[in-house]
DNA sequence: AATGAATGAGCATTCATTCAT
DNA sequence: CATGAATGAATGCTCATTCAT
């Protein structure tokens, strides 16, 4: 039997352990949400224990999604932090490079995001859902404001640019993430020239978009 | 008992009825694919009858998705048909108006697309899958070529623009399609000004994108 | 559409065609009863047509079983027909040789027999069942009497010998008919020396049995 | 909710309870394997619980069959245990009396055996299947050797006698196990004198067989 | 008589969640 | 707190049989 988590920090750590286990499993097979049994096993806990920390399986992935989004917004904040002597152009390029390479290395972010609104929300209590979303919207607004400030944009423009970038990222990934066995088919088609390299395609599209709007 | 579908046109009609029933149900609850039992009931048929027309449940939704995409590509072909005296600018504007309003009226297209290649494919025979995809890729390439011709673009540009537009559409919809009970929350947030009207947001973004690349 | 069977002989022929089709299919995969759809297809008829000639699927196989048994009993009658100058010993040996070689060439007889009492009877109307069994019991008694007469046995002995032989045949076959993938396992076991050759084993056991009782 | 089976003995008991329930149901309607739902209900458990103890429905019956066979072979070992002063004849008679009366009281053994390797095996994992068969073959060989020793038979003779006895038992039971509603019919037929009493018929046939070979 | 479209009961198995220990 | 045994709703698909044509 696992050590009892008595004080708050123990409990937070155990919660994190469950999240990490869920993330690992999802990364391994992102077609669907891993079962509660698998999450428990991966975390080295009993099935019942998981339900001491989360009310439903979906709440776990909702929390995971929330965490990932928070990290992405942190990245925005760092990229456009005040008191930075670089030119807007440099800031944007650096940000987009980071952003795209991070996405390319962690495609599970996109998978979770895609499942997000269609599957995960189903089995989550309203209070949890609203709290998560509220936190996200707040952080999202703050990140947009940071962009506005760094690039001298009119208020609201940054938020919209982040939104569009997110949309293009998700949509492009979805359109290009063909399963392995379709690759050959596509290679012979009209999409052949451009579409196979998601990261390059995304970087180019975002570069053009940000340049046209902000510089 | 339902009237027997004897000749080919009766059978095609019944197939369409099943597709329509499946589409209706999916639109009503796009969290997941409706059960085979529900589809049959919605179509006014017995469960077994559905399996006379489709081999698996997923094949139904694959067919639905295929149909919707074919319609969208037809729309492209019509919008950029040769022998059209309008200016490129007029063609693009007309196309985008049509496209966005069609999407706004038929959001199930996007919902199916979102599930699309991740869930539906699972239980579809390879022959059906490849035939569908091949047909789609062919039509996609043709539509891109029509765009190239109508707007005097270098070859391949049209395909890429369609792809990006599709991606932006899907991603934006995903980002903005909050469930009903979240609306109020968003209205009070930083997204308030822009984000609530998916159609307007999409139209603006696409307008800018196509203008910057084609005119 | 198939030619209509108008007179009685046409109908009997069609009935036989269905039986033959069922037999062929069962022979091909004797693990279970072929489906009604397969029988119809194999007979070149529509599904519904089969049900004009038999009330249930099981009735088909019941009729098939009945036919096979009638053939076996015919064989007995021929082997021990009156006015035969051979010695009892010769008659018995010749009969057993024929019997075993026939069984060895048509193991589906045994498969049907084995299914017979456990599965086939389930879905057969009482009238058909009793008529079949009565016919069989009558023929069985007659065959036994022929044995009695040919071998100068007390009345009833022949019936019992046929019964025991049938029992040993079915039981031995069942015990020795291991699926392919078990062969290797058995070859390494205590059964290795004797048990793998069903026909030889059966011939020896029956030879000893008949000799000890009849000669 | 049922008492939780915590320690190993509780769990073994629950497993046995499921086996017993399955056996009871099968005995009641040996046409086919009872459904998983029925087994659970008969055992007073929920459907899911059954699958905590067995991987598939067929595995239940495989285990049941294995258990019954093990018991029968134990009976052989006890009957022919070394250091027994009785004469071979006495040993054989005692064994056969026990054997036949046991069979007569537990006909489900035969019914399971009849279905045995044709239906049950279908849905059983290879590991379980091979382990069961290997255990059985080993025990079978050992029992045969015990017979050889007790009756001073040449090596391999005992195994063969057990095999033939098993075969005759199964075959005779199959031939004589008419469903209730056929009894009257048979009583009026040529089988009337002998065939209705399975146990007596079997005892006589086995007695003659063992005497002719071993004494 | 022949057809084959329509029917719908039947079933093994999974898995999120609960709760006795 | 932790456990893991128990639960039972949920579901795609088959196939014998019927019946409209």
DSSP secondary structure letters along A160-210: HHHHHHHHHHHHHHHHH---GGGHHHHHTSTTHHHHT-HHHHHHHHHHHHH
User: Which range is least confidently modeled, A30-44, A115-129, B7-21, D91-105?
Assistant: A115-129
Please, which pLDDT band fits residue B149 given cuts at 50, 70 and 90?
very high
Residue bearing tokens 């000669």: C215
Structure token pair of residue D105: 């009281």
Please determine, for residue B184, whether its predicted confidence score (pLDDT) is greater than 70.
Answer: no
Between the CA of B127 and the C1' of E10, what is the distance in angstroms?
Answer: 30
How far apart (Å, rounded) are the C-alpha atoms in residues A39 and C36? 46
User: Whose CA is nearest the C1' atom of nucleotide E2?
Assistant: C49
Q: What is the pLDDT of residue D44?
A: 95
Question: Do chains D and C touch, with touching meaning 3 or more CB–CB pairs less than 8 Å apart?
Answer: yes
The answer to whether D136 touches D66, Cβ cutoff 8 Å, is yes
Q: Which residues of B touch A166 (CB under 8 A)?
A: 171, 175
Percent of chain C at pLDDT > 70 equals 88
Spanning CA of C62 to C1' of F17, the rounded length in angstroms is 18
Chain A interface includes B154 (CB < 8 A): no
Alpha-carbon gap: A138 to the closest alpha carbon of chain B (Å) = 7
Q: Is residue D190 pLDDT above 60, yes or no?
A: no
What pLDDT score does A185 carry?
A: 66
**Mean pLDDT within C60-85:** 93
Task: Write out the two tokens for D189.
Answer: 């037929």
Band of pLDDT at residue D188, cut at 50, 70 and 90 = low
SS3 B194: helix
**What's chain D's Rg over C-alpha atoms?**
19
Alpha-carbon distance of C128 to A69, in angstroms, equals 73
Q: Does A194 touch chain B (CB under 8 A)?
A: yes
For residues A119 and B31, the answer to whether their CB atoms sit within 8 Å is: yes
Q: What is the pLDDT of residue A14?
A: 95
Asked if residue D99 has pLDDT above 90, the reply is: yes
- Could you read off the pLDDT of C123-173 as tens digits, one per residue? 888 788 888 888 888 899 999 999 999 999 999 889 989 988 998 898 888
CB within 8 Å of chain D, chain C residues 23-82:
31-32
A contact test, residue of B58, B125, B175 with most A CBs within 10 A: B175
Q: What is residue B36's predicted lDDT score, i.e. its pLDDT?
A: 96
Cβ proximity of D62 and D69 under 8 Å: no
Q: Which one has a higher pLDDT value, B42 or A196?
A: B42
Say whether residue B108 is in contact with chain A using an 8 A CB cutoff: no
* Model confidence at A112: pLDDT above 90: no
Q: From A96, A64, A91, A77, select the one nearest A169 (Cα to Cα).
A: A96
Mean pLDDT of B109-122: 76
User: So what's the pLDDT on residue D192?
Assistant: 60
Percent of chain A at pLDDT above 90?
47
Q: What is the pLDDT of residue C170?
A: 85
pLDDT recorded at residue B185: 65
Q: How far apart are CA B48 and CA B13, in angstroms?
A: 17
pLDDT digits (tens, 9 = 90+) for A128-167: 887 888 888 889 889 999 999 999 999 988 988 998 899 8
Name the residue with the least CA to C1' distance from nucleotide E10: D35
Q: What is the pLDDT of residues A67-108, one digit of tens each?
A: 999 999 999 999 999 988 899 999 999 999 999 999 998 888
Of the ranges A185-189, C79-83, C154-158, which one carries the lowest mean pLDDT score?
A: A185-189
Statement: residue B190 has pLDDT above 80: no
Is the CB of residue B14 inside 7 Å of nucleic acid strand E?
Answer: yes
Interchain contact, C170 vs D171, CB within 8 Å: yes
> What confidence score (pLDDT) does residue C149 get?
95
The answer to whether the beta carbon of residue C4 comes closer than 7 angstroms to any atom of strand E is: yes
Handedness of CA A124, A128, A133, A139 (dihedral sign): negative
CB C156 within 8 A of CB C213: no
Q: Read off the pLDDT band of C41 (50, 70, 90).
A: very high
The residue with greater pLDDT, B185 or A5, is A5
B191 touches chain A (CB under 8 A): yes
- Output D152 or C125, whichever has higher pLDDT: D152
Is residue B143 within 8 Å of B158, Cβ to Cβ?
yes
Determine which helix (DSSP H) or strand (DSSP E) holds B174, and give its type and residue range: helix B157-176
Note the strand F nucleotides within 7 A of protein beta carbons: 1-21
Average pLDDT over residues A169-192: 70
pLDDT at D201: 87
Q: Extract the tokens encoding A138.
A: 């707040």
pLDDT value at residue A72: 93
Q: Is any Cβ of chain D less than 8 angstroms from the Cβ of C141? A: yes
**pLDDT for res C108:** 81
* Size of the C and D interface in Cβ pairs below 8 Å: 149
**Residue B79: CA atoms inside 13 Å, Cβ hemisphere, count?**
26
For chain A, state the CA radius of gyration: 20
Q: What is the mean pLDDT of residues C53-58?
A: 94
Between A193 and D161, the higher pLDDT residue: D161
- Residues B132-146 have a mean pLDDT of 89
Report the share of chain C in percent with pLDDT over 90: 48
Nearest to A73 by CA among A22, A137, A168, A169: A137
| CA C70, C73, C78, C81 torsion-angle sign | negative
CA distance D68 to C107: 27
Whole-angstrom Cα distance, residue A176 to residue B209? Answer: 19
> Tens digits of per-residue pLDDT, C186-211?
676 656 655 568 898 899 889 988 98
| Domains (range + CATH), chain A | 1-54 (1.10.10), 58-214 (1.10.357.10)
Q: How far is CA A164 from CA A169, A172, B159, B169, D116, in A?
A: 8, 12, 20, 10, 64
Q: Print the SS3 string covering B24-86.
A: HHHHHCCCCCCCHHHHHHHHCCCHHHHHHHCCCHHHHHHHHHHHHHHHHHHHHHHHCCCCCCC
pLDDT per residue as tens digits for the range B192-211: 655 568 898 899 889 988 98
Distance CA A178, CA C122 (A): 51
Q: In the predicted model, what is the mean pLDDT of chain B? A: 87
Asked whether the predicted pLDDT for residue A187 surpasses 80, the reply is: no
User: What pLDDT does B171 receive?
Assistant: 81
Q: Which of residues 12-41 of C touch strand E (CB under 7 A)?
A: 14
C-beta separation of D214 from D95 below 8 A = no
Higher local confidence (pLDDT), C51 or B31: C51
The pLDDT of residue C180 is above 60: yes
This prediction's pTM: 0.86
In sequence order, the 6+-apart residues with CB closer than 8 A to the CB of A117 are B174, B177, B178, B179
Q: How far apart are CA A68 and CA A75, in angstroms?
A: 11
Q: Which residue is nearest to nucleotide E14 (CA to C1')?
A: D48
Q: Which residues contact B105 (CB under 8 A, 6 or more apart)?
A: none
Place of tokens 């149901």: D25
Q: Is B111's Cβ below 8 Å from some Cβ in A?
A: yes
Checking if the pLDDT of C78 tops 60, the result is yes
CA distance C210 to chain D (A): 11
Residue listed under structure tokens 């047909």: B135
| pLDDT(C65) > 70 | yes
Tell me the C-alpha distance between A114 and A170, whole Å: 7
Question: Using alpha carbons only, what angle is made at residue B53 by residues B49 and B59, rounded to the nearest 5 degrees?
Answer: 115
User: To probe the interface with C, which of D73, D190, D198, D212 has the most C CB atoms within 10 Å?
Assistant: D190
Residue C24 pLDDT level (bands cut at 50, 70, 90): very high
Q: Which among A178, A135, A181, A141 has a CA at the least distance from the CA of A158?
A: A141
Q: How confident is the model at residue B179 (pLDDT cuts 50, 70, 90)?
A: low
User: In angstroms, rounded to a whole number, what is the distance separating the alpha carbons of residues D198 and D183?
Assistant: 13
Instruction: Over range A4-31, report the average pLDDT.
Output: 91
**Cβ-proximal residues to A109 (8 Å cutoff; 6+ apart), any chain:** A68, A72, A103
Do residue D177 and residue C114 have CB atoms under 8 angstroms apart? no
Gap from C116 CA to E13 C1', Å: 30
Q: Is the dihedral of CA D204, D205, D210, D213 positive or negative?
A: positive
Nucleotide nearest B46, CA–C1', reads E7
* Nucleotide E15 C1' to residue D47 CA (A): 13
Q: Please tell me the predicted confidence (pLDDT) of residue D125.
A: 82
List all residues of chain D from 114 to 133 with a beta carbon under 8 Å from chain C: 114-119, 121-122, 126, 130, 133
B15-66 confidence digits (pLDDT tens): 999 999 999 999 888 878 999 999 999 999 999 999 999 999 999 999 999 9
Q: Which nucleotide is nearest to D47 (CA to C1')?
A: F8
Task: Look at D32 and C119 and tell me if their CB atoms are within 8 Å.
Answer: yes
Whether D35 sits with its Cβ under 7 A from any strand E atom: the answer reads yes
């Amino acid at each position: 039997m696992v050590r009892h988590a008595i004080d708050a920090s123990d409990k937070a750590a155990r919660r994190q352990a469950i999240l990490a286990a869920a993330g690992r499993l999802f990364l391994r097979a992102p077609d669907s949400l891993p079962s509660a049994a698998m999450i428990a096993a991966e975390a080295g806990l009993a099935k019942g224990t998981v339900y001491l920390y989360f009310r439903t399986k979906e709440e776990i992935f909702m929390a995971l999604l929330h965490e990932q989004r928070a990290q992405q917004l942190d990245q925005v904040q760092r990229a456009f932090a005040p008191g930075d002597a670089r030119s807007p152009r440099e800031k944007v390029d650096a940000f987009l490079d980071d952003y795209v390479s991070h996405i390319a290395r962690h495609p599970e972010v996109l998978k979770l995001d895609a499942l997000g609104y269609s599957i995960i929300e189903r089995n989550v209590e309203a209070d949890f859902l609203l709290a998560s979303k509220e936190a996200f919207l707040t952080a999202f607004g703050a990140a947009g404001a940071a962009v506005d400030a760094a690039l001298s944009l009119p208020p609201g423009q940054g938020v919209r640019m982040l939104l569009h970038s997110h949309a293009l990222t998700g949509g492009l990934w979805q359109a290009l993430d063909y399963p392995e066995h379709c690759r050959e088919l596509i290679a012979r088609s009209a999409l052949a020239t451009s579409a196979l390299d998601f990261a390059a395609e995304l970087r180019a599209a975002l570069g053009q978009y940000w340049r046209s709007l902000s510089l």
